[in-house]
Amino acid sequence: MISLETAIIGLFSFSIVLLVLSFFQKDKYKELESQIETLTMTVMQENYQLKKKMKVLEEELLVNENYTVPLSEKAIREMQE
């Protein structure tokens, strides 16, 4: 029969071997993390560019607002006349 001391030494040796193997194992999530980080940066850049474009469009609309009359106001004016 296997003695208790032999079993403990065997299990301890096996755990050391597994620990050493875990350091040499390829990290599966490193590439995925890199792809997610790249995607996040791309989305943030696109979001920033869209916000800039929206701001320019809003400013153009505010500048041109004096020259146009909304349809609802136009209809009200026609009804009053």
Residue given tokens 């050493």 in the structure block: 20
Tokens of 67: 């020259």
pLDDT number for residue 43: 97
Token digits for 70? 């909304």
CA distance 23 to 45: 36
Nearest to 61 by CA among 49, 71, 72, 70: 70
From the first residue on, what is the mean pLDDT of each consecutive set of 10 residues in the chain (81 residues)? 89 96 85 93 97 90 66 66 62
Global pTM reads 0.49
Q: Which pLDDT belongs to residue 41?
A: 97
pLDDT value of residue 30? 86
